[in-house]
Structure 1
Amino acid sequence: MAIIAGSTITASQYIACSEKRDKYGHITSRISGASAKAGHMMRDNVFQTPTHTKEYDAVIIGGGVAGLAAARMLHHRGMNNYRLLELESHTGGNASFGSNKYSAFPLGAHYLPIPNTDNQPLLDMLAEAGILTGYNSNGLPVYNETDLCYDPEERLYIHDRWQEGLIPQLGTTKTTQQELKRWLDEMQQLRAIRGTDGRYAFDIPIANSSVDPAFRELDNINMRTYLQQKGYQSEELYWYLDYCCRDDYGAGIDIISAWAGIHYFASRKGKAANADNSQMLTWPQGNGRLVQHLQQFSKEKTLQQTIVYKVTPQGNRVAIDYYDMRLHTTQRIIAKACILATPQFVTQRLIPGGTYDHDFVYSPWLVANITLDRVPESSGYQLCWDNVIYRGKSLGYVYAQQQQLTQVQPERQVVTYYLPLDHLDPVSSRKYAIALEPQQWVKLITDDLEKVHPGIHEVIRDVDITVWGHGMIRPHTGFITGAARAAAQSSPYKNIFYAHSDLSGVSIFEEAFYHGNKAANALADYCS
């Protein structure tokens, strides 16, 4: 038996599925994603003593956004005698991307909200990448028009038709509309409010947020409790906020803390000269566009398919032992310092005496890139960049070709389907996700889409499935202000530095970028 996204699929049903191959048999599929086998090799530490040793000034372990950001900063600090070690055959982490003959597409994160205007390091990087093209006379950033999300942006399938926008409007009562407005007004007020320490109550990076107890105590209750305490009752509002939490955190309002739930809204203070504050920067390959820019700084210094299994401080040096999966050899690097741009469940296995705190919980995800003859027409609003299903188990799908400049209708269309695996506990969800075969995923995904696009199975040609067992850190109740996150902010060794978005408790590009910069600057200062 397999349980996924709230559904129970029995063995007999899978047999029935295989007998009805006329419905799904024409759909090709495959599963990719983070290498569970390699990760388990590291966990079990089955490696021999290194046979080769090299020396560098620095080593970065992990090639996600944090590791790539750290490499870029080392470059800008004039440190080029380093190596970046990456477990997978590519860098990018959960901002990776893929492509086929019809389109590029994201394998994970797919957009960047207009950044806060005081986040200068991020603005500088966007300018460096040609995404931010300058500033107007009022000092507001001007973004490349082709990098801003094109209209139409968002639609919601509710009451058997599509409406424009993701906040439920179609068929809602006057009372619900008043509650929705009250919520948005409350978030607007919280966006501007500051704590007694003078900091914004909610900010990006999270390290800049106020530590005023009046706001931090919101981390001790979940988002549902907060809504109840505030007197909200609308089913549509509860659904919308549950969707938002699942979208950014991989879990709903019963799990996510009220502080994190509010942060989703109140931390965003971005402004632009040529875009609304709520607009997104996005690309066919999603945040892979940002990864492509970052990769250029470490492309010649990256060693892929390397399993780092031990990091040992040795006085003013540090030894990094790794297994090269291509050469099938164990090797050692001696460096002045290193950056662990890895999640805590990896970091604590690498350092001497490391103890993983299970308060760090990671949400598993399923991302599927679906190639089809066309997206079937449905009643209501037209196809958008983001297409969400009211009360759906998935988060719907993103139209990957929305940002393509050509006016010619593509031969085939590609949509990216997102499913947070949050209807079981994370460990159980990971086990079930790994156990499912591609054909089983195809059935689950296709049947879900049939609810809004009847007959869609007939036009689907290929499904490229990516399973993220540890897709993102989960800011559950008490985690943001808890002891585990506080203890993880710095390593116990002077020449080992940490960089990963899980140190923030929120897995967004801005946080990973911040921690990568922070660790790289600290390492460069140490080595100077």
Structure 2
Amino acid sequence: MRRRSFLLWAGASGATAAGGVLGLRRWQEITPALRYPGRDEGHFLRERRALPAPAEIVETDVAILGSGIAGLTAAWKMKKDGHSDFLMVDGPQPYGNAAGGQFGDLAFPTGGHYLPLPSPESFHVREILADIGVIQRDAMAERPYYDERFVLHGPEERLLFNGVWQDGFIPTEGVAEEELAEHRRFFAEVQRLRGLRGRDGKRVFVFPTVESSDDPEWLALDRITLKTWLEQGGYRSPTLHWYLNYCCRDDYGTRYDKVSAWAGLHYYCSRWGQAANAGNGAWLTWPGGMQPVATAMERASGVRRRDGTVVSLKRTAGGVEALCFRLVDGRPHSYLVRARKAICAMPLYVAARVVESIGAYGFDPARHMPAYAPWMVANFLLKRFPDELPHAPLAWDNVVYQEPGLGYVVSTHQDIRVRPPERTVFSAYVALSDRTPEAARKWMNGASGEELLALASVDLKAAYGANFAACVERVDITLRGHAMAAPLPGFRGNAGLKALREADGAILFAHADLSGFSVFEEAAWWGYRAAQLALKG
């Protein structure tokens, strides 16, 4: 064991007992597998390296460029509407932020891991869930009936606060009554805002966000940060501020003193879906995160897929041409896709380099490009469950009162057998919101496996101490330098995003970035809309 490795572990855990030393030795046998989806392809695009001549020309009616939720929704919707002549080019990672992985028979997420119950306005999400069997009946009713295997069961969440586990994520144990009163006042305000409509008759906060009210009174929230809104409202509780900062980091990868107040409130006020067989505010989840949903959407669409990444997309007299490549042992192989229309279902930081003359659509990358938050997901394969502290039992989502970690999710939580499985996967999430996105990307790109593992395991060490290491068999770390668009103040008025949303021609745009932040409902909405536009003529 190298001294540097010891210091990285001991500095994070503070463990020095004999059992801890054994844990340290066991830990050093683990070398994490590091995944950088899209990094090599992204560098290839950025450096504009030469490609060999296309070895193949592929023709289709509609080309879907990207296989995340937006692209999959576009394929699913076209199939639903009776069209099947379309082709999907995967991009650097199939399923994008909805991807997952496997340790043998144990699945785990490498991106998103849950979906809130969709409200009635999110009819497009309900259509998808009904088609793939997640909603079993009454899809458009106020309270649809969901497949119980996917409705999150308790215990749902817990927080390690002052060394003690408690139910729920907002600190309550040992918190002064005046702070608890502020908690109640905040959630009462959330309940009030959920039912409000602007002077245009639309709900103030709703999915999809383009259906939210454009009343100037409420759009003014997009000019300030969530922290400023809290301060203006007289909210001073440190535990409430921590909680709301945690939620912004968890949903947007960015601190609450950076996030638009409109986006910060939307997090709470738009999520009020109900179910006939679950409580209000329930969640849907799968051991593999969102990948089972993505896989089911792919099956339902019958889409043809091609491995590859688009390097250029341009309009032609007959439609569009997309030059694509894939790396084989570091060497590029290219092919050309010709189509009547293309759905550009890729992040905008990629589209800006790929779409020829993107400025002609009204999008100026220098002025309109969203900021992107980096993200890290570490999956720990455990040969046994670690010993728990008393008070609150192991939950699906487990959070520690600190930063920058976001806690860890138990992938086998939905296992409905009488006895829990012997082995499991803990998925630890980290939003590197304690530094600028540029500094975080630079660090992620240059950090050693030991350094990445030290950061990824901080919350686990706080929960279990150095003895956690003895439970670990393998670790898989996924790093996403541009994981999600961050909704900073002013994002609702971004003219470039609006222009791309309204594009209607040979090239159509479909990605959650068009909304300014990365969630399933928004990605699916733009894929749904793009499919409708692609088929209208």
Q: TM-score, normalised by structure 1?
A: 0.92
1:284 maps to 2:253: no
Q: Which residue of 1 aligns with 2:491?
A: 479
Tell me by how many angstroms 1:81 deviates: 1.7
1:325 maps to 2:327: yes
What code does the residue aligned with 1:169 have? Answer: T
1:80 maps to 2:100: no
1:350 maps to 2:359: no
Q: After superposition, where does 1:143-292 map in structure 2 within 5 Å?
A: 143-292=146-295
Comparing 243-252 and 92-101, the one that deviates more? 92-101
1:465 maps to 2:456: no
State the SS of the aligned residue for 1:403.
Answer: coil
**What is the distance in 2 between the residues matched to 1:348 and 1:182?**
44
**What is the distance in 2 between the residues matched to 1:133 and 1:437?**
47
Are 1:337 and 1:496, in contact at CA under 8 Å, matched by a contact in 2? yes
2:309 to 302, 307, 310: 307
Change (3 A) 1:79 1:223: same
Change (3 A) 1:352 1:367: same
Tell me by how many angstroms 1:138 deviates: 6.9
CA distances 1:370-404 after superposition (whole Å, capped 9, x unpaired): 12221321132000001011133201001110001
CA distances 1:155-175 after superposition (whole Å, capped 9, x unpaired): 011121000111211111110
1:410 to 391, 399, 421: 421
Are 2:120 and 2:142, in contact at CA under 8 Å, matched by a contact in 1? no
**What is the distance in 2 between the residues matched to 1:399 and 1:457?**
16
CA distances 1:14-70 after superposition (whole Å, capped 9, x unpaired): 585599972521224201131211111122232244343232111010111101111
Q: TM-score, normalised by structure 2?
A: 0.91
Comparing 232-241 and 267-276, the one that deviates more? 267-276
State the SS of the aligned residue for 1:162.
Answer: strand
Q: Which residue of 1 aligns with 2:536?
A: 525
**What is the distance in 1 between the residues matched to 2:413 and 2:469?**
22
Q: Which residue of 1 aligns with 2:452?
A: 441
Change (3 A) 1:118 1:17: closer
Q: Which residue of 1 aligns with 2:103?
A: 100
1:496 to 484, 507, 510: 507
CA distances 1:157-211 after superposition (whole Å, capped 9, x unpaired): 1121000111211111110111000000000000000001100001000010000
Q: Which residue of 2 aligns with 1:395?
A: 406
Tell me by how many angstroms 1:137 deviates: 12
Comparing 318-327 and 115-124, the one that deviates more? 318-327
What code does the residue aligned with 2:168 have? Answer: G
Tell me by how many angstroms 1:292 deviates: 1.4
CA distances 1:278-328 after superposition (whole Å, capped 9, x unpaired): 110111111112111112145651001x12111111134111111243594
1:431 maps to 2:442: yes
Are 2:403 and 2:434, in contact at CA under 8 Å, matched by a contact in 1? no
Tell me by how many angstroms 1:12 deviates: 8.2
**What is the distance in 1 between the residues matched to 2:9 and 2:244?**
38
Q: Which residue of 1 aligns with 2:377?
A: 367
- Unaligned runs of at least 5 residues, structure 2: 11-20, 359-363
Change (3 A) 1:136 1:445: closer
State the SS of the aligned residue for 1:487.
Answer: helix
Change (3 A) 1:298 1:128: closer
RMSD: 2.2
What code does the residue aligned with 1:367 have? Answer: V
CA distances 1:207-238 after superposition (whole Å, capped 9, x unpaired): 10000000001000001100000001000100
- Unaligned runs of at least 5 residues, structure 1: 1-10
